[in-house]
Amino acid sequence: MKLTHAAAFLMMASVAASGCGAHGEGLEEEAMQAEGKTSAADRRPLTSEEERIIVRKGTEPPFSGEYDKFSGDGTYLCRRCGAPLYRSNDKFDSGSGWPSFDDEIEGAVRRAPDGDRVEITCARCGGHLGHVFEGEDFTPKGVRHCVNSLSLDFEPAEKKEEEAKKESAVLHKAHFAGGCFWGVEHLMKERKGVVATSVGYMGGRTESPTYEEVCSGETGHIEAVEVEYDESKVSYEELARLFFEIHDPTQAGRQGPDVGEQYKSAVFYADDSQKRVAEKLIALLREKGYGVATELREAEKFWPAEDYHQDYYDKTGKNPYCHAYTKRF
């Protein structure tokens, strides 16, 4: 017989101390490890309250959990090990005060007798989820997985789609130096097909240089930008053309007001194909009358700069002061 929301709440509230999660203090962590399929190193750190629920088999108060009324599109994961457990289209509002699902991802949930109820745990790590009830007729499937929000994480469908696209993309890297790396990165990352950017140092004599060391001129490094791009959306030549149009390739040892060897114009090529593209573009610019000072160098180790340099203009809300687009081709 189907319970009304009020009746369901009264029933669940009456067992709140044991509710959909309680089982006394439950197994110790060592026993949980023996039960599950993950090592301690594979598990995420838990707060004391999460440990009370997931490890000690406690329960959270009804209507208090993050995912009780949550209705996002995606996948619910085990909070402790990240294993996928439930799909959002199997979630429903039972009125009980805890997230409810009428189905699980195949093989993701383990069931075990718990007195007159049935406990559910993550099949991968053994973490406690809650209890499963049958025959209540909330949905046509007649099953209700009553789960603690603190046992769950949520992965939006959009994130999964973006990760899948990135995995299927043909990704390559390019390295350019054109003065202050803040401005070069800012304008490069706006180009469609650029997946990620990072600012750093290349071409020097020392390992793991700091910004202060590079600025001293003693290390020989140049401020550079690493560009990761999807070749199905933008070619290396398109990025190289953009590079030559967002800085002044005729300046040597400087870029606008920034003076010093670290501000040289350079293309660090990864292979002969990238080198040929850069040589072709430099030749075209020289035919147009530009006295190109850009150096061509074989790519060496790229040393990422300090965190405060990364995405500088996004963080500060400012605009590049010595880089702007100028059509040259």
Per-position DSSP letters for 64-89, written without gaps between them: -STTSS---SEEEEETTT--EEEEGG
The C-alpha atoms of residue 123 and residue 111 are separated, in whole angstroms, by 9
Based on its alpha-carbon atoms, the radius of gyration of the chain, rounded to whole angstroms, reads: 29
Q: For residue 38, what pLDDT band results from cuts at 50, 70 and 90? A: low
Mean local confidence (pLDDT), 122-146: 97
Active site residue 322: no
Residue bearing tokens 């991968």 = 124
Structure tokens at 138: 């909330």
Q: Which residues pair with 126 in a beta bridge?
A: none
Mean local confidence (pLDDT), 112-140: 96
- 41-45, 104-108, 132-136 — which is least confidently predicted? 41-45
Beta strands in 21-142 (DSSP E): 74-78, 84-87, 91-92, 100-101, 109-114, 117-122, 128-134
Residue 28 reports pLDDT greater than 60: no
Task: Tell me the C-alpha to C-alpha distance, in Å, between residue 311 and each of 172, 194, 287.
Answer: 20, 14, 35
Residue 74 reports pLDDT greater than 80: yes
pLDDT of residue 26: 40
pLDDT of residue 29: 43
pLDDT of residue 167: 67
Residue 187 reports pLDDT greater than 90: yes
User: Per the residue annotation, which of 125, 180, 215, 322 is the catalytic one?
Assistant: 180
Q: What are phi and psi of 152, to 5 degrees?
A: -120, 155
Considering the chain, what is the average pLDDT of its residues? 88
Mean local confidence (pLDDT), 20-29: 44
Percent of the chain with pLDDT over 70: 86
pLDDT of residue 2: 37
Q: Report the residue count for the chain.
A: 329
Whole-prediction pTM: 0.53
Residue 297 reports pLDDT greater than 50: yes
Closest residue by Cα to residue 221 from 165, 98, 150, 303: 303
Q: For residue 36, what pLDDT band results from cuts at 50, 70 and 90? A: very low
pLDDT of residue 44: 84
- 34-48, 70-84, 143-157, 277-291 — which is least confidently predicted? 34-48
The C-alpha atoms of residue 120 and residue 126 are separated, in whole angstroms, by 9
Structure tokens at 161: 């789609």
- 41-45, 55-59, 105-109, 278-282 — which is least confidently predicted? 41-45
Structure tokens at 83: 């294993």
pLDDT of residue 169: 72
Tally Cβ neighbours within 10 Å of residue 39. 10
What 3-state DSSP class applies to 265? strand
Closest residue by Cα to residue 128 from 65, 70, 78: 78
Cβ atoms of residues 84 and 104 within 8 Å: no
Active site residue 20: no
Closest residue by Cα to residue 227 from 248, 243, 214: 243
Q: For residue 170, what pLDDT band results from cuts at 50, 70 and 90? A: confident
User: Per the residue annotation, which of 20, 122, 146, 322 is the catalytic one?
Assistant: 146
